[in-house]
Amino acid sequence: MKFDDCIYKYLQGKNLSTGKKIRISYSEEEILDRTTLLVNIVRGKKIIDLGCADHLEVIDLKIRSNTWLHKRLCEVAEFCFGIDINEKAIEYIKSLGYKNVFYCDILKDKELILTQNKNYDILVAGEVLEHIDNPVSFLKTLRELYKENIVYLLISIPNAFAIKNFVSVLNHLEFINTDYRYWFTPYTLAKILVISGFTPIEFWFVNYYEPPQRRFYSRILFKSKPAFRDTIVMISKF
C-alpha cells in the first residue's frame, strides 16, 4: 500500500495534526508472508543483506524449516553480500559454505563493502532497526554513505499493531523481544525514513511465517484486518 500524496506533507513536517486518521490497509484475499515477499522483491537483484546472521542459536533450525532469510535471499538474488556485527555467527555461516558474508559495521566499513560490488540495487534490513539505539542517526548516516551506491532500502520490522500485542495487554502482559528499543507503525516508520532523507514508496503488512501455519480463524482475521499481522515491510528510495 502507498500513502496518499497529502500524507507526505505530514511526513515532511509541512503540515501538523494532533489527531490525523490515515488509511493504512484494506481487506485482502491473500495473506502475505515476510520471506516470500522479500524474496520476490530482490529476485535477480544485487543486494546487501544487513544483519544476515539472525541469532546464531536459531540458524540451524531456520535452515531446516527453510525460513532462514539469508539462505532464501541468496537463492534468488543475482548477488547477495551478507554483513553482520556478530562475529561468531559470521564464522559459523562461513563454515556452512557461504563465502560472501563478512563481520563488519555498515557505517564504518564502506570500503570493504564496496570492494565486493560498487553498486547495489537493494539494501535489505530484516528486523534490524528496532535494535538500533538511535534509528534516525543510523539511517541518516547510512544514506549519506551509500546514496550513490544503493538504489533502494527494504526494511522488515515488527508491527506495533500486531494482534498478539493486544492479546498480551488484555492479560496484563507485554510480549516482547528484550533487545527491542522501539515499536513502529507504517506512519512512524515512514516518518523517520523521511527525516533521514529517504523517500518511502510502498509498504505491506505481512505475517512473519507462512499462512499454512496459521489456524482457520486467524486466516479470516488476517484477511479482513491486515494491520493485525505481525510484520511491516517498507521499501524506500535512497
Residue count of the chain, please give it.
238
Look at residue 28 and tell me if it is in a domain.
Answer: no
- The torsion angle over the Cα atoms of residues 49, 52, 54 and 57, rounded to 10 degrees, is 160
Please give the tally of structural domains in the chain.
Answer: 1
- Stated as kind and residue range, the H or E segment containing 126 is strand 120-126
Say if 45 falls within a structural domain: yes
| Residue 165 placed within a domain | no
Give, as one character, the DSSP assignment of residue 143: H
Name the residue range of residue 134's domain: 33-159+182-210+232-237
Residue 145 included in any domain = yes
At 119, list the grid cell. 553498486
The domain that holds 43 is classified in CATH as 3.40.50.150
- Average confidence (pLDDT) over 4-8: 91
User: Which secondary structure element, helix H or strand E, spans residue 98, and what is its range?
Assistant: none
What is the percent of the chain where pLDDT is above 70? 98
Q: Quick one: cell of 36?
A: 516470500
Residue 172 within a domain: no
4 domain-assigned: no
Q: What is the pLDDT of residues 167-185, one digit of tens each?
A: 999 999 999 999 999 999 9
Written as nine digits, the cell of 55 is: 541469532
Burial of residue 164 (number of CB atoms within 10 Å: 0-12, 13-18, 19+): exposed
Please report the pLDDT score of residue 12 as a whole number.
Answer: 95
Does residue 177 lie within any of the structural domains? no
Integer Cα distance of 194 and 67 in angstroms: 31
Q: Is residue 218 part of a domain?
A: no
Measured between alpha carbons, how far is 47 from 112 in angstroms, rounded to an integer?
A: 15
